[in-house]
Amino acid sequence: MRVPRSHPRYRSLRARELLASMVDEGVADRTGLIAHGRGEAFDYFLGERTPPEARLAASVAAYRLAKARAPVISVNGNVAALACKAVIALAKAVPARVEVNLFHRTEKRIDLVASYMESLGGRDILGRQAAGRIPGLAQPRAKCSREGIFSADVVLVPLEDGDRAEALKKMGKLVIAIDLNPLSRTALAANITIVDELTRAIPLLEKYVRMARKEPARHARLVRGFDNVQNLLSVRDRMARNLMDAER
Ligand code: PTJ
């Protein structure tokens, strides 16, 4: 369907069309459409704008990514479908490795998603070789790359499932989540949760990584004062207020 640019829901409709076509290609899983719908609902509560809490969390996350020894960005079907180029740009800015790591894992889909990223400029995409295991997860979700997620100190997990986020944290990794649902287990398990829409959050992170390199002292101060639980409570309050103040 061709969506006219003038349509008030242009961005949202385009994202849906893109995701649906990526399901047809096999890059995104069909349950990714449901996950996306849940995200859209929470984005309504945010007014479809990046809230100050997400800016704060992204500033802290950017500093931790920039200072990391071995940072990795984990990419699933939805992330590749909606934000492939932005992820590649962020990985370059950090610099971080990119690993395809799927909830509905098949070797065929891993290869499809990795090839899709490579076709848009991704280099050295990890995930096809998965000799590492995340303790506490059942196969095949435990699989990961030895040189990627397994040995990372900081892992960015946009749209992650709760079990894996918790398991990565238990491994001692610093987990940064992007998730529109501030109540999700992933949001609660992560060390830093950016409650914002993926396609807004990734470019913002890239911008903040560059700023963190220029002004490390300012970002370090934010890191010291950051409390993820408090920040999540604040964004939940904001969503509730937006809901109550909406025009009747
Ligand atoms: O490609 P695969 O096989 O790895 O599967 C990917 C999905 C996303 C289907 C899988 O990981 C999954 O089922 O995820 P969940 O458990 O439904 O969690 C997705 C979370 O991401 C939910 O809390 C949504 O609110 C949130 N979300 C969805 N779309 C966006 C989002 N957050 C930010 N931006 C979005 N665009």
Q: Which own/partner pairs from 190-194 qualify as long-range (CB within 8 Å, at least 24 positions apart)? A: 190/157, 190/165, 190/228, 191/228, 192/57, 192/60, 192/61, 192/64, 192/226, 192/228, 193/57, 193/228, 193/231, 193/232, 194/54, 194/57, 194/58, 194/61
Domain containing residue 205: 52-241
Give kind and range of the element (H or E) at residue 194.
Answer: strand 192-194
Query: Model-level pTM?
Result: 0.96
Q: Closest residue (by CA) to atom 13 of ligand 1?
A: 35
> Is the beta carbon of 43 within 6 A of some atom in ligand 1?
no
Q: What is the pLDDT of residues 129-172, one digit of tens each?
A: 999 999 999 988 999 999 999 999 999 999 999 999 999 999 99
Taking residues 63-71, what's their average pLDDT?
97
> Is the beta carbon of 159 within 6 A of some atom in ligand 1?
yes
Q: How far apart are the CA of 160 and the centre of ligand 1, in A?
A: 6
pLDDT of residue 1: 66
Q: How far apart are the CA of 77 and the centre of ligand 1, in A?
A: 9
Instruction: Please report the atom of ligand 1 found closest to the CA of residue 32.
Output: 9
Query: Is 44 part of any domain?
Result: no
Taking residues 217-228, what's their average pLDDT?
92
Nearest partner of 149 among 94, 96, 199, 206, judged by Cα: 96
Query: Is 182 part of any domain?
Result: yes
Ligand 1: residue of 159, 196, 204 to mutate (most ligand atoms within 8 A of CB) is 159
Query: Is 7 part of any domain?
Result: no
Q: How far apart are the CA of 201 and the centre of ligand 1, in A?
A: 14
Nearest partner of 63 among 202, 198, 204, 208, judged by Cα: 208
> For the chain, what is the domain count?
1
> Is the beta carbon of 179 within 6 A of some atom in ligand 1?
yes
Q: Closest residue (by CA) to atom 10 of ligand 1?
A: 103
Query: Is 37 part of any domain?
Result: no
Query: Is 13 part of any domain?
Result: no
Q: What is the pLDDT of residues 94-136, one digit of tens each?
A: 999 999 999 999 999 999 999 999 999 999 999 999 999 999 9
Q: Closest residue (by CA) to atom 9 of ligand 1?
A: 32
Answer yes or no: is pLDDT of 245 > 90.
Answer: no
Split at pLDDT 50, 70, 90, the class of 11 is confident
Query: Is 74 part of any domain?
Result: yes
CA separation for the pair 76, 207 (Å, rounded): 22
Taking residues 64-87, what's their average pLDDT?
98
Q: The CATH number of the domain where 92 resides is what?
A: 3.40.50.12640
pLDDT of residue 76: 98
Taking residues 20-34, what's their average pLDDT?
97
Q: What is the pLDDT of residues 171-182, one digit of tens each?
A: 999 999 999 999
Taking residues 42-56, what's their average pLDDT?
96
pLDDT of residue 6: 79
